[in-house]
């Protein structure tokens, strides 16, 4: 018996309470439902194998409405390897801003709802943790920056406050606080370990240190300017984030992208993936004191960045994409240069993979370290290479492809042990696959324009929304945009893969020894900036 589609089950359950707002888009269905029923809807989606991809709020007072809660579920399409997205909007009254928590069905809601509470003052009933998130304890009371009645440069007076840490007790239990300023050249965050001897009993993360008000900043920019800010959500994923932004804006405003631009976007996305995977595999080896691989792989990474600069004008590919196209084209010489680079890179990389695999002292550190089981990964709704290393297919290039990935047939890499070694192996296989994809893209690259036409203007209808989903090197990026009453930027929601995967790190380190934490952490390499926004 084939299970009925989720929306049918939802319709049977809720009858007239459920409204279809927009069923015209490919792969995306927008519904609305009263906020009181949202946890029931989440339970039904969970039963059908769906995942909570994001949960956020909007302040709709400029439309003459009140607040709203949005939930985005990724739901598998029966008999296919694909997913589709179901978005549900629920009105939330300003005077009584409450909704029932989704944490009973989806662990990922744990932090989404703390963020909603911290930035909108909308609380979820039954949430197990009332502490703010990203909003630090010295923020002024009643200051909810994403509300429309708060301006971006609102005065900010620090207040007294404290943060209740999770504490372990018992004989021999001690605590190690780390950060926010860390030992290496890395982003700031605070980690608090409860340990006995060398064994980690609990790790509690505390983030938010690099919160720069990005979502609020978007609201003061034009649609065209937004791409530049999106490219600075997380510098290592600059292209992927700017791409997710452009896809969302293009879907909202009905902008068509020339085929050549779509293929060049895939080319640049794969180059970003290769550069980051190369650097991180080396850095993981370095954290196990095998500096040789770091030197070799950072050399290869540098060569990729240099070719980026000479062909596209920027080492990290910042600002190479705009709504409606790309801002850098490629000539026949450039194609030739990349094909030669790919041959060289592939040969060099394969030699290093053998060295990684055959080094016993390295294998001793990475095998069985920092395990995330398949069940844990599924329960937390993890994404990206972290999920795939634990055996969960999650590659958006396969499961929710935008052009040209619908024609490219990406081979998704998965492993099953979920340890540091498997996370490295997924990334090794993704470097190989990206090299293959780049060669294919370059041989099939269509002609025609790549830059958007000069007359292109983004003028969306009031209230329209757009969804952009991209598999960056770290995993699934979800960007959602909404136009305001006069077609301006009303609200932008960005869900970096780190926002869910940080939860996975807290679980991965349990029972490991403290000196293995850097190795576990590096094998996740989550973004602080992409998380804190």
Partner 1 sequence: MLRILYQTLRTGLVTEKTLPEADKKIEIVGNALREEVHKRFHRSLTIREIDAGSCNGCELEIHAMNNPHYDCERFGVHFTASPRFADVLFVTGPVSRNMEIALKRTVDATPAPKIVVAVGDCAACGGVFGTSYASLGAVENVVPVDVKVPGCPPSPAALIRALLEAVGRK
- Residues contacting 266, CB < 8 A, separation 6+: 404, 405, 408, 437, 441
By beta-carbon proximity to partner 1, the closer residue of 280 and 395 is 280
> How far apart, in whole angstroms, are the C-alpha atoms of residue 431 and residue 437?
10
Q: Identify the CA nearest to 489 among candidates 272, 253, 174.
A: 253
**DSSP-assigned beta bridge partners for residue 200:** 195
By beta-carbon proximity to partner 1, the closer residue of 29 and 366 is 366
- ∠ CA 503-508-514, nearest 5°, is 115
Answer for the pair 105, 71: CB distance below 8 angstroms, yes or no: no
By beta-carbon proximity to partner 1, the closer residue of 71 and 234 is 234
Pairing verdict, β 67-76 and 98-100: unpaired
> How far apart, in whole angstroms, are the C-alpha atoms of residue 208 and residue 161?
16
By beta-carbon proximity to partner 1, the closer residue of 77 and 154 is 154
By beta-carbon proximity to partner 1, the closer residue of 208 and 418 is 208
> Which residues of this protein are in contact with partner 1, per CB under 8 A?
134, 136, 143, 145, 150, 152-154, 156, 180-181, 183-188, 208-214, 216-217, 228-229, 232-236, 238, 279, 292, 295-296, 298-299, 301-302, 305-306, 309, 315-316, 318, 351-352, 354-355, 358, 527-529, 532
- ∠ CA 268-270-276, nearest 5°, is 105
By beta-carbon proximity to partner 1, the closer residue of 202 and 220 is 220
Bond preceding residue 204 cis, omega within 30 of 0: no
Give start and end residues of each alpha helix (H) in 101-237.
109-120, 214-218, 223-230
> How far apart, in whole angstroms, are the C-alpha atoms of residue 27 and residue 18?
19
> How far apart, in whole angstroms, are the C-alpha atoms of residue 75 and residue 410?
20
CB of 200 to partner 1, least distance (A): 21
Strands (E) across 301-372 are located at 321-322, 325-326
CB of 152 to partner 1, least distance (A): 5
CB of 517 to partner 1, least distance (A): 15
CB of 464 to partner 1, least distance (A): 25
Pairing verdict, β 67-76 and 19-25: unpaired
Q: Identify the CA nearest to 471 among candidates 387, 384, 389, 393.
A: 384
CB of 136 to partner 1, least distance (A): 5
CB of 251 to partner 1, least distance (A): 24
CB of 11 to partner 1, least distance (A): 41
By beta-carbon proximity to partner 1, the closer residue of 50 and 231 is 231
By beta-carbon proximity to partner 1, the closer residue of 179 and 381 is 179
CB of 140 to partner 1, least distance (A): 10
């Amino acid at each position: 018996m084939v299970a009925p589609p989720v929306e049918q089950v939802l319709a049977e359950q809720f009858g007239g309470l459920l409204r279809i707002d927009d069923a015209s888009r490919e792969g995306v269905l927008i519904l609305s439902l009263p906020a009181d029923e949202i946890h029931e809807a989440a339970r039904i989606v969970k039963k059908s194998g769906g995942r909570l991809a994001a949960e956020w709020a909007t302040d709709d007072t400029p439309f003459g409405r009140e607040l709203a809660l949005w939930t985005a579920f990724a739901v598998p399409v029966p008999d296919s390897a694909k997913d589709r997205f179901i978005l549900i909007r629920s009105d939330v009254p300003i005077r009584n801003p409450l909704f029932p928590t989704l944490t009973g069905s989806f662990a990922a809601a744990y932090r989404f709802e703390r963020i909603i509470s911290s930035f909108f003052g909308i609380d979820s009933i039954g949430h197990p943790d009332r502490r703010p998130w990203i909003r630090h304890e010295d923020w002024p009371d009643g200051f909810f920056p994403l509300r429309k009645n708060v301006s971006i440069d609102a005065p900010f007076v620090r207040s007294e406050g404290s943060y209740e840490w999770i504490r372990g007790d018992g004989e021999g239990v001690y605590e190690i606080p780390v950060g926010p300023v860390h030992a290496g050249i890395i982003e700031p965050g605070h980690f608090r370990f409860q340990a006995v001897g060398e064994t980690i009993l609990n790790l509690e993360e505390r983030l938010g240190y690099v919160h720069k008000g990005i979502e609020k900043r978007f609201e003061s920019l034009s649609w065209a300017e937004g791409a530049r800010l999106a490219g600075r959500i997380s510098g290592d994923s600059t292209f992927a984030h700017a791409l997710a932004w452009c896809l969302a804006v293009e879907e909202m405003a009905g902008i068509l992208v020339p085929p050549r631009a779509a293929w060049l976007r895939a080319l640049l996305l794969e180059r970003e993936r290769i550069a980051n995977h190369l650097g991180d595999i080396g850095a993981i080896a370095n954290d196990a004191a095998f500096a040789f691989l770091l030197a070799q792989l950072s050399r290869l990474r540098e060569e990729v960045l240099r070719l980026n600069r000479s062909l596209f004008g920027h080492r990290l590919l910042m600002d190479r994409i705009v709504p409606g196209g790309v801002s850098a084209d490629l000539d026949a010489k450039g194609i030739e240069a990349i094909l030669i680079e790919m041959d060289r890179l592939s040969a060099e990389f394969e030699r290093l993979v053998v060295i990684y695999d055959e080094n016993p002292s390295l294998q001793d550190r990475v095998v069985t370290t920092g395990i995330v089981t398949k069940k844990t990964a599924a329960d937390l709704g993890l994404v990206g290479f972290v999920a795939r290393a634990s055996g969960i297919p999650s590659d958006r290039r396969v499961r929710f492809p935008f052009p040209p990935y619908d024609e490219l047939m990406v081979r998704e890499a998965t492993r099953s042990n979920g340890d540091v070694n498997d996370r490295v192996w997924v990334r090794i296989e993704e470097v190989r696959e990206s090299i293959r994809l780049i060669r294919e893209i370059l041989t099939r690259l269509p002609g025609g324009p790549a830059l958007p036409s000069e007359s292109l203007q983004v003028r969306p209808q009031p209230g329209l929304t757009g969804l952009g989903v991209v598999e960056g090197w770290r995993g699934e990026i979800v960007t959602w945009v909404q136009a305001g009453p006069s077609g301006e930027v009303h609200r932008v929601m960005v869900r970096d893969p780190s926002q869910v995967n940080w939860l996975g790190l807290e679980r991965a380190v349990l029972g490991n020894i403290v000196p293995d934490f850097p190795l576990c952490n590096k094998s996740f390499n989550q973004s602080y900036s992409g998380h804190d926004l």
